[in-house]
Amino acid sequence: MYAILYMQHWDRSGLNRAINYERMSLKRLKFAIHMVLDSKNEFGEIVATNIWSTNDA
């Protein structure tokens, strides 16, 4: 954790982009899982499929 914060201080642009991208990917994944687990929601399955195909690209 400290190493990441230290590196972030020195390399603000590249590291911040990488960290923000990973956070966004995790949020999208959590959202997709939540939607798929709701079996009554067909839209959730479509969203999850779209997210997985986007991540594979």
pLDDT in tens, 1-57: 444 444 445 555 566 666 666 677 777 777 777 766 665 566 666 666 776 676 555
Distance, in Å, from the CA atom of 5 to the CA atom of 10, rounded to the nearest integer, reads: 9
pLDDT for the residue 42: 63
Distances (CA, A) of 34 to 5, 25, 30, 40, 41: 31, 14, 6, 12, 10
All residues at 6 or more sequence positions from 16 whose CB lies less than 8 Å from its CB, including other chains: 8
Distance, in Å, from the CA atom of 53 to the CA atom of 4, rounded to the nearest integer, reads: 30
